[in-house]
Structure 1
């Protein structure tokens, strides 16, 4: 939808809605549309060249917010980078999006423009944590072997029934090392601690409050390699690196405890899949669960062949409740900032030079 002069006359802040229409929170969206002038570029207008042209022409006016309620649409223009971000009007105060990750937007550059970026990790924490528990259990109990054998021949069924027990373990009492102790990492810790009785260790750039640690008897590690060395299972639950560097590589895997397990529900770009395959084949890793992959939608061929490895299709956050939460949280973040309140789930607020408040 094109911006018009009549909308400018309304003097309501303009919200640029990229992606599909809101599907579930329709009552909230109706109120949202009363408070703000919502403009939504067509699919054709969201293609990178045309989108950049539209921004240069100020086709959608001096919008105050960018709203992306879905992770699978609204990204047609590609990464918000040093080529795209300078085209955003100076009137824009907030970019609120579905999804927990934010590697598709340079949040440092957005902050330099005075734009707070808000993700929706809080809306997906429950779904991702549940899925992480499945992958943790899969690595301890050889669930890929068990499920594929049951779908195969009688001989493979018998082989698995007879031999899987000797290499399967209860998670209870084992040490779970979590990389990243934000909303999702902490929720994984809560579930693993309460359901499996696991010992919680974590690595993060910032240590969490003592009360939060006490809730799951978590031990903080300032050294990632030191935590890897004592963990029976490691879960990666941290955002993608802003510099694009991988975190789990061959050199780092040399520090992981021999005979341990590895789960990734974060970002595939953080992990060297070939190095993980090497670690499985040499016996350093006896179980792996990967929901995300380096070259999605393509999955590493070596990992596909290993029965110690459970592979899923970036499904961890994929529930209806998550989608509903993405829509709602994105709208509530924009509503808060454009009405002069604090954002609910800011990612880069600490980098902002100027306040994010905007008076309606």
Structure 2
């Protein structure tokens, strides 16, 4: 007698090749429209499936998990970050949580460097001139930016992505500094040419560029708050391709408007799509729509990770990318 297929619900449209593979392996319900599920739809899905495949746009909190009932056994997140999932409550309810770490490292690091260059070299201003038909020709003092070589880069969060950023930035001639919850091993520091700062305040005050690459956890919420942002040099810039909640967005907007910080490159925002309207108006800010990991290769790799986690669970083993509260 063959084993019954797992019932899997996917909350957003995924690349076709991923959806096709999920349909081959499991009893899968795919999303027909590429819009986030409502809270009601999420709640119903969690009551009627064995495995939920959510994304960052799904807020899976204590109440939803507690009301899911006994059928749901695995939340196989499509993405590395799990701050939108109450992992502790899931564990209490006997629901495993997995994610997709590692596969987006290079894509996100690439975008981090792109934002640094865009801000430092004033690319949006140049593009606006060209698209507006306002360019009158080359001039010696027009749109003068700053070079990356020789600048001090302070990386906040030296995990996979932070280290990938360090390697790229070193190739541009930047000096690598970092602050992390735990100091790296000396051989890793040596390989990256990275200087460790135990004090985040002291590092922030001395850097030319700050790159936020840490996850959002209760301890990193507003880690770059108003007081710490004021420690930055007026000619410094800040780039964030991690989570918007790490920076106090309103404080950052005020300081950018006042010229107390030179510029910012942001791919993520504290309140999701609700971005401070004053931030949109600033010429010294580059805003992207959370596209740091948006490559077709990366999205397919994420799907493969999800499938491996579900298949391993279905075979009676621990998902290789299981997330537990102690990891957060």
Determine if the TM-score, normalized by the shorter chain, exceeds 0.5.
Answer: yes
1:252–1:67 distance in 2 versus 1, CA, 3 Å: same
Does structure 1 residue 249 correspond to structure 2 residue 242? no
Q: What is the Cα-based RMSD across aligned positions, in Å?
A: 3.1
**Cα distance in 2 between the residues matched to 1:242 and 1:200:** 27
- Once the two structures are superposed, the pairs formed by residues 202-241 of structure 1 within 5 Å of their partners are 202-241=178-217
How many positions carry a matched residue from both structures?
A: 325
**Cα distance in 2 between the residues matched to 1:116 and 1:208:** 29
Does structure 1 residue 305 correspond to structure 2 residue 281? yes
**Cα distance in 2 between the residues matched to 1:153 and 1:161:** 19
2:242 corresponds to which residue? Answer: 266
Q: Which runs of 5+ in 2 are unaligned?
A: none
State the Cα distance separating 1:349 from its structure 2 match: 6.0
Deviates most, 127-136 or 13-22: 13-22
1:14 corresponds to which residue? Answer: 6
1:205–1:92 distance in 2 versus 1, CA, 3 Å: farther
Once the two structures are superposed, residues 87-110 of structure 1 have per-residue CA deviations (whole angstroms, 9 ceiling, x without a partner) of 345565532222232222112222
- Once the two structures are superposed, the pairs formed by residues 105-184 of structure 1 within 5 Å of their partners are 105-154=85-134, 157=136, 162-165=141-144, 168-184=145-161
1:350–1:286 distance in 2 versus 1, CA, 3 Å: same
1:234–1:113 distance in 2 versus 1, CA, 3 Å: same
- TM-score, scaled relative to structure 2: 0.85
1:313–1:224 distance in 2 versus 1, CA, 3 Å: same
Deviates most, 322-331 or 275-284: 275-284
**Cα distance in 2 between the residues matched to 1:208 and 1:274:** 32
| Bigger Cα Rg | 1
Does structure 1 residue 23 correspond to structure 2 residue 16? yes
**Cα distance in 2 between the residues matched to 1:351 and 1:340:** 22
State the Cα distance separating 1:249 from its structure 2 match: 2.0
1:190 corresponds to which residue? Answer: 167
1:81–1:309 distance in 2 versus 1, CA, 3 Å: same
State the Cα distance separating 1:228 from its structure 2 match: 0.7
**Cα distance in 1 between the residues matched to 2:253 and 2:14:** 41
1:231–1:52 distance in 2 versus 1, CA, 3 Å: same
**Cα distance in 1 between the residues matched to 2:214 and 2:101:** 11
Once the two structures are superposed, residues 289-316 of structure 1 have per-residue CA deviations (whole angstroms, 9 ceiling, x without a partner) of 1112233424333222322211112121
Once the two structures are superposed, residues 26-79 of structure 1 have per-residue CA deviations (whole angstroms, 9 ceiling, x without a partner) of 67536633xxxx3427679x5433543565xx534xx2x4334xx48xx5xx42
Deviates most, 213-222 or 310-319: 213-222
State the Cα distance separating 1:145 from its structure 2 match: 2.0
2:307 to 311, 328, 331: 331
1:341–1:217 distance in 2 versus 1, CA, 3 Å: farther
1:67 corresponds to which residue? Answer: 53
Checking the alignment, whether the CA contact within 8 Å between 1:139 and 1:288 is kept in structure 2 is yes
Highest RCO, 1 vs 2 (Cα 8 Å, sep ≥ 6): 1
Q: Which runs of 5+ in 1 are unaligned?
A: 1-8, 353-360
1:103 corresponds to which residue? Answer: 83
